[in-house]
Structure 1
Amino acid sequence: MATPKQPKHNLLDDTTKELNEWTGEAKAVEIHPLRMFSEVFDRHTKNDADAIFIAGTKATTPPLAEVSDAPVKPWLFSRVLVVLLVTFSLLLLLFYAFKNERVLPGLLVMGSLTVPFSLMIYFFEVNVFKNVSILSVLEVFLLGGVASMVATMFLYTLIPTANGTALWSAALIGLIEETGKLLIIAWFINHLQLNYIFNGMLIGAAVGAGFAVFETAGYGMDYGLVTLVIRSWQAIGTHTLWSAMVGAAVVFAKDDYRPLTTQTVLRPKFMRFYGLAVLFHALWDWHVPFAWLDIFYIHQLILIAGGWVVILVLIEAGLREVRMLRQAGIPAEEHAFLPLP
């Protein structure tokens, strides 16, 4: 009698299955980056872009019955990225070709802004509930970014670190900075009464993007354009992603859409994804004692890939949440437009 074939397993499937179990579903998540970004190279009109940017108002927030649970295919973020990259490139031209040092402040701003801001737009597109306006996101980006830095600096005064690259120091830095951002992310999510995974990821990404922009601008001012460029491309997998994880964790901690409390943050769903963000941050800052990992930024590229795997699993969990809400028949008034005062 033939032995039935055992299903094949690989590291990616095992990882996504474990992460997905944390969100409440015990199966692997299929990762299809080409499908997700399939519309990036399609032709889109200005009206298509306008339709995305006007989401989140009283007139444009769809009822829950009309919220799509189809695989997300964001594209507008790529157009924003191109505009910012061209602007940064023109500033570099002015600086190097025409020796115009007056453009240095602009280089610092645009170099630090390009990737985090584009990523924030990505999460804005991914929010299929379309219940948070771009104006609200920009306010969270600016105010939340600065406020999270203030919270972090305050925590640093309470918990001094050596600010080094040893594992223990990197772990402490990751814990402090992710906690500082957590405080602001949780405040915005509570204040705006946001309840969905996609909402949490968007608010987290906006706070993290703001934090990344201001931090990178400071490093660029201290260490020059080479550091600015390196930190800029690496931003594709740092603060914005980590904070999106934290935002999702905050939503997981909420009890039946009620405000977050100190008790609910002890829930395993929250602790796992918050701890994961801290771990990614710590591993990023850690000077790994393997020289080969420094070749072509292998260390950072591994962490970037890992961070995106977590984000894609959370996106799948967000789509599953849409389906569950429909099946549960959540009243329309619970899926309301939530303006930012």
Structure 2
Amino acid sequence: MALPTARPVRPPRHWLRVLWTGLVLWTATVLVTVITANANLLPTIVLLGSFLVPVTFVVWAYEHGRAGEVTVPLLFNAFVVGGVLGVLGASLLERYFLAPSMWMYFGVGLIEELVKLLALAFVARRLQVRTLRDGLVLGAAVGFGFAALESAGYAFNAMFTVHGISVRSLLETEILRGLLTPLGHGLWTAITGGALFAASRARWRVTGGVVLTYLSVSVLHGLWDSMHTIAIAATLYLTGTAWQYRLLELGYLPRATDAQDHLITLLNWAGLLVISTIALLWMRSMAERSRYGPRQPYTGP
């Protein structure tokens, strides 16, 4: 008589419950706000819409990658404390060290990835043993906390237009940022956090691999932020006319034609897709290494 084979244990799906519950609550809040015109509900829309996707992905990361000493309280601290420290640090450094230039977006990438990594090191300072997988999970938590607070700020500012408070502009901003959130801060900080933890073990160590990872992720960050500008420059280079070049020489940005607008949009989204693919493949490689590979110091991408 054949013995029954054991079924593989599937990871819990609490993240899916968090996503659907939050989505229902956000939708209900939007509907009630539109029906009643109650401005007191606008902060609820901002908070629910900005935190829904980041919190969902933190829960997903914890369920699929929990190991070592990563606990729920530590994860919460990484999301809240790490996120707040990252936003405050980035705001101060960008205020005093950045000036408008063609390299400004790469400066933003260097600063924001640094402050998030420092915030992660602060939150995880009491961990006795650090592993690559722990770094991925806690790094994602810090990054998504940063993203949630940043998105709340963008959503808040989007409400105020020259015509007054615009709920539509608020919703458009939250939906777009919600869709792009999994490909931004959480992903980038997971990569740098995994590299830092893998190199550190019992005490913090900044190796050449960690520095190379940080610089590479900062470049991806800078390319992501500047992709629309790059798309405009590429479009003008490929399809620009004499009068457009003349306006550029005079210091004015020429208005794009309809055909050029379509090309700008295409190049912009194609660039974001390439950047996201590189980052996702990179993180997947690190996750596989943490699961099956030998425990050796991380040497970089």
Same fold, judged at TM 0.5 (above): yes
**Equivalent residue number for residue 196 of structure 1:** 131
Q: Which whole-Å CA distance do the structure 1 matches of 2:269 and 2:181 have between them?
A: 13
Do structure 1's residue 309 and structure 2's residue 281 form an aligned pair? yes
Closer, same or farther: CA 206–194 of 1 in aligned 2, 3 Å: farther
Which is higher, the Rg of structure 1 or of structure 2?
Answer: 2
Q: Calculate the aligned-residue CA RMSD, in Å.
A: 2.5
Within-5 A mapping of 1:268-287: 268-286=208-226, 287=229
Within-5 A mapping of 1:120-159: 120-129=58-67, 131-159=69-97
Equivalent residue of 1:288, what SS? helix
Closer, same or farther: CA 161–192 of 1 in aligned 2, 3 Å: farther
- 1:74 positional shift: 6.3
Closer, same or farther: CA 151–202 of 1 in aligned 2, 3 Å: same
Do structure 1's residue 231 and structure 2's residue 177 form an aligned pair? yes
Among residues 288, 300, 311, which one is paired with 2:230 in the alignment? 288
Q: Which whole-Å CA distance do the structure 1 matches of 2:116 and 2:66 have between them?
A: 24
Within-5 A mapping of 1:43-62: none
Equivalent residue of 2:124, what SS? helix
Do structure 1's residue 299 and structure 2's residue 237 form an aligned pair? no
Whether the 8 Å CA contact 1:77–1:121 is kept in 2: the answer is yes
Q: Aligned letter for 1:305? A: T
Closer, same or farther: CA 281–107 of 1 in aligned 2, 3 Å: same
Among residues 244, 263, 282, which one is paired with 2:190 in the alignment? 244
Whether the 8 Å CA contact 2:93–2:111 is kept in 1: the answer is yes
Q: Which whole-Å CA distance do the structure 2 matches of 1:219 and 1:186 have between them?
A: 27
Which ranges of 4 or more aligned residues in structure 1 deviate by more than 4 Å?
70-74
Equivalent residue of 1:126, what SS? helix
Q: Which whole-Å CA distance do the structure 2 matches of 1:110 and 1:160 have between them?
A: 31
Q: Aligned letter for 1:303? A: I
Q: Aligned letter for 1:288? A: I
Among residues 31, 36, 39, which one is paired with 1:93 in the alignment? 31
- 1:269 positional shift: 2.1
Q: Which whole-Å CA distance do the structure 1 matches of 2:202 and 2:69 have between them?
A: 18
Q: Which whole-Å CA distance do the structure 2 matches of 1:283 and 1:234 have between them?
A: 15
Q: Which whole-Å CA distance do the structure 1 matches of 2:142 and 2:37 have between them?
A: 35
Aligned identity (percent) is 26
Name structure 2 gaps, 5 residues minimum: 1-7, 160-169, 236-262, 297-301
Question: 1:189-212: per-residue Cα shift (whole Å, max 9, x none)?
Answer: 333234111111111111111111
**Equivalent residue number for residue 203 of structure 2:** 259
Do structure 1's residue 208 and structure 2's residue 143 form an aligned pair? yes
**Equivalent residue number for residue 40 of structure 2:** 102
Q: Which whole-Å CA distance do the structure 1 matches of 2:181 and 2:114 have between them?
A: 19
Whether the 8 Å CA contact 1:252–1:270 is kept in 2: the answer is no
Whether the 8 Å CA contact 2:158–2:173 is kept in 1: the answer is yes
Whether the 8 Å CA contact 2:129–2:202 is kept in 1: the answer is no
TM-score normalised by structure 2 residue count: 0.74
Whether the 8 Å CA contact 1:174–1:279 is kept in 2: the answer is yes
Q: Which whole-Å CA distance do the structure 2 matches of 1:277 and 1:91 have between them?
A: 37
Whether the 8 Å CA contact 1:202–1:244 is kept in 2: the answer is yes
Closer, same or farther: CA 293–189 of 1 in aligned 2, 3 Å: farther
- 1:130 positional shift: 5.6
Question: 1:127-167: per-residue Cα shift (whole Å, max 9, x none)?
Answer: 242632212211221111111112222322442232x7x4x
- 1:179 positional shift: 0.7
- 1:243 positional shift: 0.9
Higher percent of residues as helix:
2
Whether the 8 Å CA contact 1:234–1:300 is kept in 2: the answer is no
Name structure 1 gaps, 5 residues minimum: 1-69, 329-341
Whether the 8 Å CA contact 1:141–1:210 is kept in 2: the answer is yes
